[in-house]
Amino acid sequence: MEPSATPGAQTGTPTGGGDPSPSLVPPDYEDEFLRYLWRDYLYPKQYEWVLIAAYVAVFLVALVGNTLVCLAVWRNHHMRTVTNYFIVNLSLADVLVTAICLPASLLVDITESWLFGHALCKVIPYLQAVSVSVAVLTLSFIALDRWYAICHPLLFKSTARRARGSILGIWAVSLAMMVPQAAVMECSSVLPELANRTRLFSVCDEHWADDLYPKIYHSCFFIVTYLAPLGLMAMAYFQIFRKLWGRQIPGTTSALVRNWKRPSDQSDDPGQGLSAESPPRARARAFLAEMKQMRARRKTAKMLMVVLLVFALCYLPISVLNVLKRVFGMFRQASDREAVYACFTFSHWLVYANSAANPIIYNFLSGKFREQFKAAFSSCLPGLGPCDSPKAPSPPLLCQPQVLVLAQPVLRLQSPRARGAHQCHHGAALRCRPGGSRGGGGTSCFLPGLLP
């Protein structure tokens, strides 16, 4: 934003029939004027120190948190899922915008001047726009992937290779789509007479050949990078919500329970009751797997919905303000300058706060990310051991007691082949104990947690 006063108005530059000649200006006039500007105008005020502290907090949390997200997926093969690949891409965009754009934005908000020259005037706003586009497209691909996986699982198969290809496409499209943003950015000085002595009161802003062009560009930018993607993602997550919470996923728990009740499922040969391929045991294993999948999908969907909601809320103020300023020509009067400055400053901070909020959301709503964050901190803190790669937790034993509500309270299978003590192993769906229910020498098998 431009300063509201000129040097002559602030310092009482002598005026007469014309401009004062250079010989009438004291040699130290400009230096004294710059010291005055620094002391009474540019030096951070009390509320601006609060803003600086808020920016520093966001900077640290965003860099550390998003770096941990990338390391967690990179170090653990079991976390290299399609969704997590997109989450890592979102974290990379957040690291980019935090490391490069946040410091510049803070200085501009505090000094109201562009201090980084003509080249960075094009580069930094361009990278800011690219990061916004990458974030929006990544969230859109995540929603599309979840929509296919949950609502239409047979139409499309997501793979890690396709996810990596999509990520490359996201960056290519974003880099190309935001070229006009770099083309129109120019650095100019509000006070040309001081341009050779200081970069204070230089501004980095858009310069268009016609007033119609920014209206078209920013209208399209708002629709393409905010309104349309959020609308489509909202519809996708609404259908996902209905599938996960409103009714069962096709082929999951309710269907398994109905199939369990069929008499034809019982084996006529008691000698094959404990076979690993026996239908009851296979259905029990599938039942547990589907229940686990249902819980995991609900947790993931809840986390992604929160990420999308926070993104929409954080980018809403700056999106609306840019449309009002660029399209409708508002905020040009000096009377509301302080209010406009406060609104834009807070909106800029919200954009960067979104980058810091994402790792916090992952920590609270994803058990896997939370475990990896804890492992990273505990291994890197002084006195707690070296910074080793956090190991992936071993899968739990399914032979631990679990309560399953089924139509048949106890399932007993007799087999003369299976004798001896009960054995626990990964993936087991049944528990066995010596002694048949009818005095035989076989083994009695049951679903865990159902016997008194």
* pLDDT tens for each residue of 59-117: 999 999 999 999 999 999 889 999 999 999 999 999 999 999 999 999 999 888 898 99
Q: Which residue has the higher pLDDT, 393 or 154?
A: 154
Which one-letter DSSP state was computed for residue 274? Answer: T
Q: How many angstroms separate the CA atoms of 35 and 191, rounded?
A: 16
In the prediction, which pLDDT does 30 show? 64
The pLDDT > 90 percentage for the chain reads: 48
Burial 142-153 (b: 16+ CB within 10 A, else e): bbbbbbbbbbee
Half-sphere exposure in the Cβ direction for 143 (13 Å, CA): 23
Name the 3-class secondary structure at 411.
Answer: coil
Q: What is the pLDDT of residue 47?
A: 84
Predicted confidence (pLDDT) per residue in 30-63, tens digit: 677 767 777 766 778 888 899 999 999 999 999 9
Residue 68 has a CB neighbour count (10 Å cut-off) of 20
β-partners of residue 189 are 202
Higher-confidence residue of 176 and 199: namely 176
pLDDT of 263 reads: 45
Q: Rounded to an integer, what distance in angstroms lies between the CA atom of residue 208 and that of residue 184?
A: 6
Identify the three-state secondary structure at position 150.
helix
Phi, psi of 240 (to 5 degrees): -65, -40
For residue 141, the number of C-alpha atoms closer than 13 Å in the C-beta half-sphere is 27
* Amino acid identity at 256: L
Helix residue spans in 15-157 (DSSP H): 29-37, 46-75, 82-96, 102-111, 117-151
251 vs 150: CA distance, rounded Å: 12
Strands 202-206 and 185-189: antiparallel
* Long-range contacts from 190-199, C-beta under 8 angstroms, 24+ separation: 190/2, 190/3, 191/6, 191/7, 193/7, 194/7, 194/30, 194/34, 197/30, 197/34, 198/34, 199/113, 199/114, 199/115, 199/117
Domains of the chain: 26-247+296-380 (1.20.1070.10)
Statement: residue 420 has pLDDT above 70: no
pLDDT tens by residue, 421-435: 444 444 444 445 555
Give dist(CA 73, CA 69) in Å, integer. Answer: 7
More confident residue, 172 or 376: 172
| 310 vs 418: which has the higher pLDDT | 310
Distance CA 267, CA 277 (A): 11
Which residue, chain included where needed, has tokens 């609404």? 238
Contact assessment for residue 221 and residue 318, using Cβ atoms and an 8 Å cutoff? no
246 vs 228: CA distance, rounded Å: 26
Residue 445: count other Cβ atoms within 10 Å of its Cβ: 24
Taking the mean position of all CA atoms in its chain, how far away is CA 83?
A: 11
List, in order, residues 6 or more apart from 30 with CB less than 8 Å away: 194, 197
What is the average pLDDT score of the chain?
Answer: 77
From the number of C-beta atoms within 10 Å of its C-beta (0-12, 13-18, 19+), residue 373 rates as: buried
From CA 253, how far away is CA 258, in angstroms rounded?
9
The predicted pLDDT at position 51 comes to 93
pLDDT of 303 = 95
* Residue 433 Ramachandran class (φ > 0 left, ψ -120 to 50 alpha, else beta): beta
